[in-house]
Amino acid sequence: MTLKGKIYLVALLSLVLLVIINEINLSYLHGGFPYKDGLITTADEYSYFAPADNFLEHFRWAESPDGREAFVRTPGYGLIYLLARLIGGGHAFLVLKIIQILLFTGSILLLSKILQFFNVRNNLILLFTAIYGLMPCFSGFVYYTLSESVIPFFVTWSLYCVLDASRKREFSWETVFSLSLLTLIRPQLVVLPLFFLLLFLLKDQRKTALAVLISFLPLSLWQIRTYSIEGEITNFHPIYSVSNNSLYRPPHEAMTNLFRIWDYRGDVFHGNMALLSRDTLTTTREEVLRTIPVKFHVALDPVLKKFQEFRLIQREQFSGKIVSDYFPGERELVQQIKRTRSDLIRKFPVDHYLGTPVKSAKKLIGTSMMNLNVYQDAWRNTLLVVLLKFLSFGLIMTGMLAMLYIILFQPTYIIRLTALSVLVSVCYLCFVQRFNEERYLTPYLPLLIAFLSISLNEILPAKK
């Protein structure tokens, strides 16, 4: 059998195993994670899907029918859901599930093509394509209503298109389309086309550079749209706004940045915000302080008290009306939080600049990525699952080491810059975003496998 035939067989086996394991996983959920037509629902899905639903019903891309909160997330994953609704109607989730399964299968085929581009030996291509397709750590979110369910396909597709266009030194609409969708689904990945653009400009590949440059247009137009709504430049996921009639307003944004000094656990932070929003009792504030290092307590107590009081005012302001500007005292609270943050960073720079980022990196990278309920509960202590978790963790760690090897020693600039873009992205997650979940590593997993196989192809001696 040819290599191509073996790769297609691996993809087919991977698809079958993926469906079997995930369908078994659904049967073990018992309502703990509700699902629709076989897709596990998540807290994020409303912000992805509500704009698409409102677009079909009211021809307006917004979370609410009246157009409020129109800026929300970039629309990439929502557009895929929109396609599923147009095809499936009332069974949109079933169609979306099929799309997500097929897209992951497509990422397996694309990974093999990427490895062939770098002249990786056939046995290593087959091995690492099989590892990527069959190991559960790489497909854990395919059955979830999250952008992580589709992003591996768009990462591998984008890289393959760029490699192909670079080799042919030509303009490629497929490159434009793939990179555009990549950044609309996960705008933080914009660093990847930015590095490609720089490379093609330096290498005088003007046609390929033009394709990459045009791919920034959809994301740029989306940001212009957001600016026209907000009247100011915002980040790629602008949930914080004076027109946001919920918890997610400027004081919450300021508290997020304050807590990032010492904390890297997003679930703990959001739990604390829920507590402070509950009442203005001292005992509630003390409960929050117990989750924070003692050395910060004196400076934080008055800020937490002020935030408690303000949350009470917010609830009263939201009652029965729409707020589109700052509340009385809101600007002052934001400034107080910012001053406290500056003071604490000045007093505890090691925590802010080193300690917390290292803890965030440990949480983000130190994972097996085996998130399915059956691996965490029903089959948790079985020998096979334990071995798979160790193997998965080992693959991710060696993939990270291979990334560093490629940055330092790989002579081919395009894969070297790809590795550097992953390093920059991971550093951003750890040093800037800090509140990370393991799933944020998902976009980089197929690239880590590519780095590992390319590195081993160079290090291991070829059979004579």
Rounded to the nearest 10 degrees, the angle between the axes of helix 173-185 and helix 206-214 is 40
pLDDT of residue 238: 67
Closest CA to 112 of 98, 127, 102: 127
Residue 229 lies in a domain: no
Residue 223 lies in a domain: no
Residue 66 lies in a domain: yes
User: What letter represents residue 61's amino acid?
Assistant: W
pLDDT of residue 318: 63
Pair 88, 207 in one domain: yes
Q: Is the pLDDT of residue 247 over 90?
A: no
pLDDT of residue 312: 85
Confidence grade of residue 322 (pLDDT, cut at 50, 70, 90): low
Confidence grade of residue 69 (pLDDT, cut at 50, 70, 90): low
Domain boundary pick from 317, 347, 377: 347
pLDDT of residue 325: 75
pLDDT of residue 464: 57
Q: Which range (140-154, 317-331, 357-371) has the least confidence?
A: 317-331
Report the SS3 class of residue 39.
strand
Residue 233 main-chain phi, psi, to 5 deg = -75, 130
Pair 325, 386 in one domain: no
Q: Is the pLDDT of residue 309 over 70?
A: yes
Pair 67, 192 in one domain: yes
pLDDT of residue 204: 87
Q: Which range (1-10, 242-251, 444-453) has the least confidence?
A: 242-251
CB 145 within 8 A of CB 173: no
DSSP H or E run through 35:
strand 35-36
- pLDDT more than 70, % of the chain: 94
Pair 176, 207 in one domain: yes
On the 0-12 / 13-18 / 19+ scale of CB atoms within 10 A, 329 is: middle
Q: 221's torsion region: left (phi>0), alpha (psi -120 to 50) or beta?
A: alpha
Cα Dmax for the chain: 78
Mean residue pLDDT of the chain comes to: 91
Closest CA to 156 of 135, 181, 134, 173: 181
Report the SS3 class of residue 149.
helix
Confidence grade of residue 460 (pLDDT, cut at 50, 70, 90): confident
Pair 211, 250 in one domain: no
Residue 228 lies in a domain: no
Residue 149 lies in a domain: yes
Pair 314, 440 in one domain: no
Q: Is the pLDDT of residue 323 over 80?
A: no
pLDDT of residue 232: 66
A 10 A CB-CB count for 16 gives: 10
Annotate 298-356 with DSSP letters as a single string: HHHHHHHHHHHHHHHHHHHHHTTS---SPPTTHHHHHHHHHHHHHHHHHH-HHIIIIIH
The mean pLDDT value for 352-364 works out to 94
Confidence grade of residue 229 (pLDDT, cut at 50, 70, 90): confident
Domain boundary pick from 277, 312, 347: 347
Which of the two residues, 7 and 280, has the higher pLDDT score?
7
How many Å from the N-terminal Cα to the C-terminal Cα in the chain? 21
Pair 252, 183 in one domain: no
Which of the two residues, 96 and 233, has the higher pLDDT score?
96
Confidence grade of residue 66 (pLDDT, cut at 50, 70, 90): low
pTM confidence score? 0.92
Pair 286, 377 in one domain: no
- Using one digit for the tens of pLDDT, what is the confidence trace for 36-62? 888 999 888 888 998 999 999 888 887
Pair 29, 129 in one domain: yes
Cα–Cα dist 182/39, whole Å: 22
User: What six digits make up the tokens of 7?
Assistant: 């790769």
Residue 225 lies in a domain: no
CA angle 182, 185, 191 (to 5 degrees): 50
CA angle 80, 77, 433 (to 5 degrees): 170
pLDDT of residue 272: 94
Domain range enclosing 375: 3-215+363-459
Residue 14 lies in a domain: yes
Pair 275, 190 in one domain: no
Q: How many CA atoms lie within 13 A of 86 on its CB side?
A: 9
Cα–Cα dist 239/73, whole Å: 8
The residues with which 270 forms a beta bridge, in sequence order, are none
pLDDT of residue 316: 73
Pair 386, 247 in one domain: no
Residue 95 lies in a domain: yes
Structurally, the chain folds into a number of domains equal to 2
Domain boundary pick from 347, 373, 391: 347
Pair 334, 370 in one domain: no
- pLDDT more than 90, % of the chain: 73
pLDDT of residue 402: 97
- Using one digit for the tens of pLDDT, what is the confidence trace for 408-439? 998 889 999 999 999 999 999 999 999 998 99
pLDDT of residue 305: 94
On the 0-12 / 13-18 / 19+ scale of CB atoms within 10 A, 350 is: exposed
- Using one digit for the tens of pLDDT, what is the confidence trace for 158-211? 999 999 999 998 999 999 999 999 999 999 999 999 999 999 998 889 999 999
